[in-house]
Each structure stands twice: as C-alpha cells, then as structure tokens.
Structure 1
Amino acid sequence: MSINLSVNEPISRIVLASSSPRRKELVASLDLSLPVYILSTDADETVQDHWTPQETVEELSLLKATAALAMLPKRGDKSDGTSDLIIAADTIVALGGDILGKPRNDDEAASMLERLSGHQHDVFTGIACIAVDSGKTLVASRRTKVRMKELGSERIRRYVATGEPRDKAGSYGIQGLGSTLVEEIEGCYFNVVGLPLSLLSDMLERYGIRVL
C-alpha cells in the first residue's frame, strides 16, 4: 500500500472510474452521502511480463485512476475548497503463476474454466484513489483464495452459454450463476466480486470519509 499521510481536503464527490455495474452497486452500498459520478476510461491495460499479480492490479488500477484524472476538468476555480475523489479498481485471477483476465470469446472462457476446474486460484483486486485537487494518492490490493468444483465439460458449456463469463476476470462471476461453480473461498468475498469493501473503507478514511 502506498499512503500519503496528510490527506485532509474535504471530498465533495466520488468519481468511479469504472463501467462495471457491480462496482457501482458496491460503492452505493456504502451509503456515503456523496454523489457518485461514473467515468469510463480508455486506459492502456497492457500487463508487463515482470509484474506479479499484486503489481498488476495495483499498476492497472492506478493507470485507470490517472486516466480519469486527465479526463476531468480542472477545478481550481472552486472557492469552497472541496475536491473530487477518483476511485479505480482492477481485478484478475491468477492460477499457477498465469494471469487470467477477461476472455476474448466463449471458447477462451471455456478454456479458462477447464483450467480452474478442481483447483484453487487467487483473485487479486487493486484499488487506486486520487484526490483531484491535491493529487494525493493511495494504492492497495487484496487477495482471496477460491477453490472451484470439478466442472464437467457439459456444465462449462451451459455456463458459458449464459453469457455471464464474457466480462469477468477468470470467466466467472461469483455474485451470479458462477457461485454454483465455487466450492469454497478464503478471504474477502467482495474482492472476488471486484471491489473489496473492507479495504476501500480503510482507504476512504484516509481522505476523511468514514463509512462507520
């Protein structure tokens, strides 16, 4: 985790740099009493070969947050001292040293699920927060271990046919029908969904935003 200790400016709005409806719902569930602005970015999500899974999600979430910062208009003319807070996140599945992102097509989704079948894998989610006016930044990540059931080819085919895997890291969504494929998890459930709320709440507190 990278932390600037003196993050004191009041935050007036959350800018969620994500098009994910799941992350939008999770942020809304915190009931922050702040407006949330959704801003999708076109950040380059190329993964460098030397990055570990933890480095991957932290670097990519920071890239998304930085891209959102560049897209927002400058707010230096504001007189009340308030600031937007950008939140960006990235989630990957890691199996045996290989990073599994979102499948490019249904065949790749089926291939990923075949690899995950009967094995334990890691889910990493990185979060990056940037206060727009000051540029003060926090970056952190969380890991959850997930074990899949033994999945037969017919079950994989039926699941892929639902379309659910198409925009999911590792080709499954634990909050949907993919929950029936999971045998057990060790760690934060919301991390697997795509936004670890416990970690996010700790980071928000560093900006003076208290969930509880």
Structure 2
Amino acid sequence: MSTPLVLASASPARRTTLRAAGIEPIVVVSGVDESQVADLPPAELALQLAELKCAAVVDRDEVPSDALVLGCDSVLELDGEALGKPHDPDEAARRWRSMRGRSGVLHSGHCLRDVPSGRVAAATGSTTVHFADVTDEEIDAYVATGEPLEVAGAFTIDGVGGAFITGIDGDHHNVVGVSLPLLRELVLELGHAWPSLWTTT
C-alpha cells in the first residue's frame, strides 16, 4: 500500500527530484514568510524554516489523512553567514562576486511528519559547494537570466548555474533542495518503507 507524500514547497527542483526517484508528491505550498526567522546559525535556520513549512500545511484540507508531510528549506553558508534567496539582481551579482573561486556549504533542512501519528523526524543535510572563478561578464549574464533571484544562495546546480559549480563534497540532491538518502532515513525513522512512497515503478 502506497503512502502519499505531501511536499510543503513550491520548488520545481524539489518536485522534479522526487519524481525522478519514483515519488509523485502532492504539492501544498506553505506560504511561510522566510524572513520571520533570523539570527540563527545557517544549519539551524534551514531546519527551523523546514519545520515551519511542514507545520503550516499539515492540517490543510488537501492533505490526505494517511500522508507524510515534508517541509524543506535551503540556506547557503559563506563566511559563517546564512544566504537565502537574493530576490534582487544587484544583490545576486554582489553575492556571486563574493562567492566566485571559493566554497560554501549548502544546508537543506528536512522536516517529515507522519499525519496519522503526529510523529516528526527532522535533520539537516550539508554539502560543500565549490564555485568557479567566473568573470564579471558571466555573473551579469547569469543574473540577467533571472534564475539566481529566487533560489537559495543565488545558484542552481541543476540549471543554468550548473556550469559555474566546479564540484561538491556530499550529496548532489541536497544541493538541489531535497536529499534523497536523508529523506529515506527520516521515512524509515517514522516506521515507513521507502518503496511505499513510490508511485511509479
């Protein structure tokens, strides 16, 4: 018997990652104001935002009574500072000028709640990301695509920005926004079998 997975996120990259892993999530956007949480270390910030997103949708009418609800949030740590979505082109360009030729740590918080029991399992995945020493012209061209404006850390590894990532240490999926190995551990912790989430085989 399959277990429905509700994804409390509007992220197309997270949805695509889950679909590629055989899971068709029910997307329920949390609407959480990410700016309400501040002054936390980056890894804790990512986890707290994931917990807030999960909690925001778990009681919604469109959530099946037998579902697992997954909240996720990603934050890039650079020089000890948490960098979320830049939203503004100038800010995105400034970010890239400070990141190029360096490495940061992408933290993705995961909070999984079992609706029938109310039990929660949560953890943060962290992956080191190495950035290419891109030129000012490349930065301006990338920012002009709009892609970096609405993603954590102002980059994607699975899109236009992928050419500007020279390598990672850790889980690739975590950089996209949802760590499949970590999610599997949380699913098992709540007493479910990972294959029970598969909707396509």
Q: TM-score, normalised by structure 1?
A: 0.85
Alpha-carbon distance between aligned partners in 1 of 2:46 and 2:187, rounded to the nearest angstrom: 19
The alignment partner of 1:70 has SS state of coil
Aligned match for 1:91, one of 74, 79, 92: 74
Alpha-carbon distance between aligned partners in 2 of 1:40 and 1:99, rounded to the nearest angstrom: 23
Query: Does the Cα contact within 8 Å between 2:6 and 2:63 map onto a contact in 1?
Result: no
1:133 aligns with 2:116: yes
2:57 corresponds in structure 1 to 68
The alignment partner of 2:47 has SS state of helix
Relative to structure 1, the CA distance from residue 55 to residue 72 in structure 2 (aligned partners, 3 Å threshold; closer, same or farther) is: farther
1:199 aligns with 2:182: yes
Gaps of 5+ in 2: 197-201
Gaps of 5+ in 1: 1-9, 76-81
Relative to structure 1, the CA distance from residue 63 to residue 158 in structure 2 (aligned partners, 3 Å threshold; closer, same or farther) is: same
1:54 aligns with 2:37: no
Shift of 1:209: 2.4
1:208 aligns with 2:192: yes
Shift of 1:20: 0.9
Shift of 1:204: 1.5
The alignment partner of 1:135 has SS state of coil
1:20 aligns with 2:11: yes
Q: Note the aligned Cα RMSD (angstroms).
A: 1.9
Relative to structure 1, the CA distance from residue 183 to residue 12 in structure 2 (aligned partners, 3 Å threshold; closer, same or farther) is: closer
1:5 corresponds in structure 2 to none
Alpha-carbon distance between aligned partners in 2 of 1:148 and 1:73, rounded to the nearest angstrom: 40
Shift of 1:103: 1.0
Shift of 1:54: 1.4
Q: TM-score, normalised by structure 2?
A: 0.89
Query: Which amino acid in the other structure matches residue 106 of structure 2?
Result: V
Alpha-carbon distance between aligned partners in 1 of 2:124 and 2:145, rounded to the nearest angstrom: 30
Query: Which amino acid in the other structure matches residue 117 of structure 1?
Result: R
The alignment partner of 1:183 has SS state of strand
Alpha-carbon distance between aligned partners in 2 of 1:31 and 1:74, rounded to the nearest angstrom: 20
2:199 corresponds in structure 1 to none
Shift of 1:74: 8.4
1:3 corresponds in structure 2 to none
Query: Does the Cα contact within 8 Å between 1:58 and 1:127 map onto a contact in 2?
Result: yes
Bigger helix fraction: 2
Shift of 1:12: 3.3
